[in-house]
Amino acid sequence: MHKSKLPNLETTIFTIMGNLSKKHNAINLSQGFPNFKSDQKLIDLVSKAMNSGYNQYAPMLGVLELREAIAKKFDDLYKTSYHPEKEIVVTAGATQAIFTIISAFIRPSDEVILFNPAYDCYEPAINLNGGKVIPMQLNYPDYKVDWDAVKNTISEKTKMIVINTPQNPSGTVFSKEDMEELERITNKTNIIVLSDEVYEHMIYDGLAHQSACLFPQLKERTFITASFGKTFHNTGWKMGYCCGPKELMKEFVKVHQFNVYCVNHPIQIALATYISEASNYKQLSSFYEQKRDLFLEAIKDSRFSFTPSKATYFQVLNYSAISNEKDVDFAKRLTTEFGVASIPLSVFNTNKLDEKVLRFCFAKKEETLLRAAEILNKL
């Protein structure tokens, strides 16, 4: 027998709940993906690129026109610059970017601070590289960071801090003050920040996304990861990008070139044209804010309690007025007996802390959300 490198790792909750949902023909609000089509214009651009012959390997770091379009987007949105040839790489989704960043920098015994509940792909990547996860627990409903506690947790072993704003699963965001605190406590250290910003274009109630690139000293130590799948309703295409200062990107590229070399060529050609039209992502917040409002209005008389999600396409609901069951058990029973699949939050906590909270994805057609709400209201 081989000794497992990840002995305690279980199958991801997204596969477990997705399969359970299928088996019981439930309404699937578990894994985060839209159940409506992405823009026909984008699909046509991909077909056109394929028919025009862009079917062989793309340049290693990505199609230059796409990297230039990404650089222009940073300039338009955040008035900051990334060099398209040295500081931006197109990746197979944000997942590959995150794995590549962690693999390029984390050595055995390095410590990585991350905030729980945390999206599930960071921790296994850190463990595989021999790093040590230092989780900082945030709590329902505000998930506020105690920056003094973070500061006290930093040691000479701290190699990286992972942040994710807007945050999956909680639907919260870091404020300008949060980012300034992070900038202050990492200033004059060698700590690298991995800022996972895949939900940057889904933010509600007039709030503004506080990208790490807006804070000059923070930007110097930060990788930003992004996902086209999230922004353009095609999670199955697995396309994203990573950007960061050129010294850090040099190391990123060393791993990228052997872990994937390059990513889907025709889709890059299509995206280069598509993202140049800013309205294609600028309308996303109002589009999803309407869905959030529709869902919350439809469940307002239910026995779930909640704070409206500030961002992402997830809403967390607390069920402690309904059941004492463990969140994993309750999520499973909600799927098998009532027909709505969700994600229990304890799986995103390193210590499996269970605050009786489930995550529901509202990137769904109106009729799907209303059918789910009808069921949730009966509990």
Q: Contact positions toward ligand GLN, by CB under 6 A? A: 14, 31-32, 168
Does 93 bind ligand PMP (CB under 6 A)? Our answer is yes
Residue span binding ligand PMP (CB under 6 A) among the ranges 4-12, 224-232, 291-299, 321-329: 224-232
Contact present, 218 and 173 (Cβ < 8 Å):
no
Least distance (Å) from ligand PMP to the CB of residue 263?
A: 11
- State the binding partner of 221 from ligand PMP, ligand GLN, none, CB within 5 to 8 A by kind: none
Among 209, 221, 230, 233, binds ligand PMP (CB under 6 A): 230
Residue 162 and residue 196 in contact, taking contact as beta carbons nearer than 8 Å:
yes
Interaction mask 134-173, ligand PMP, x per CB under 6 A: ------------------------------x---x-----
**Which one of 74-82, 103-111, 223-231, 281-289 is the stretch in contact with ligand PMP (CB under 6 A)?**
223-231
Residue 31 interaction partner, one of ligand GLN, ligand PMP, none, beta carbon < 5-8 Å per kind: ligand GLN
CB of 338 to ligand PMP, least distance (A): 25
Question: Amino acid identity of 173?
Answer: V
State how far Cα 290 lies from the chain centre: 21
Comparing CB distances to ligand PMP, the nearer of 127 and 302 is 127
Helix (H) or strand (E) holding 295: helix 284-298
Q: Is the peptide bond before 124 cis (omega within 30 degrees of 0)?
A: no
Q: Which of 28, 38, 195, 235 binds ligand PMP (CB under 6 A)?
A: 235
Q: Which of residues 236-275 bind ligand PMP (CB under 6 A)?
A: 238, 240
Q: HEC string of 226-278? A: EEHHHHCCCHHHCCEEEECCHHHHHHHHHHHHHHCCCCCHHHHHHHHHHCCCC
Shortest Å, Cβ 92 to ligand GLN: 12
Using CB under 6 A, pick the residue from 78, 105, 115, 119 that binds ligand PMP: 119
322: helix, coil or strand? coil
DSSP structure class, residue 211: -
Out of ligand GLN, ligand PMP, none, which partner does residue 14 contact, by CB within 5 to 8 A per kind? ligand GLN
Q: How far is residue 106's CA from residue 283's CA, in Å, rounded to a whole number?
A: 37
Residue nearer to ligand PMP on the CB measure, 203 or 298: 203
**Does residue 95 touch ligand PMP according to CB under 6 A?**
yes
Provide the token pair at 359: 């995550």
Shortest distance, position 72 Cβ to ligand GLN, whole Å: 27
Of residues 28 and 186, the one with the C-beta less far from ligand GLN = 28
DSSP element (H, E) containing 125: helix 122-128
Nearer Cβ to ligand GLN (34/135) = 34
The answer to the question of residue 62 lying near ligand PMP (CB under 6 A) is: no
C-beta of 78 vs 119, nearer to ligand GLN:
119
Q: If residue 222 lies in a helix (H) or strand (E), which one and from where to where?
A: strand 222-227
| Radius of gyration of the CA atoms of the chain, in A | 20
Q: What is the 3-state secondary structure (H, E, C) of 151-182?
A: HHHCCCCEEEEEEECCCCCCCCCCCHHHHHHH
Residue 32 Cβ vs ligand GLN, minimum distance, rounded to whole Å: 3
Among 196, 200, 289, 327, binds ligand PMP (CB under 6 A): 196
Taken as a whole, the chain contains a residue count of 379
231 binds ligand PMP (CB under 6 A): no
Residue nearest to ligand PMP (CB): 93
The helix (H) or strand (E) run that includes residue 343 is strand 343-344
Give the span between the Cα atoms of 24 and 263, in whole angstroms: 36
Q: Is-contact 169 316, C-beta < 8 A? A: yes
d(CA 204, CA 292): 9
**C-beta closer to ligand PMP: residue 241 or 302:** 241
Chain residues in the site for ligand PMP (CB under 6 A): 32, 93-95, 119, 164, 168, 196, 198, 227, 229-230, 235, 238, 240
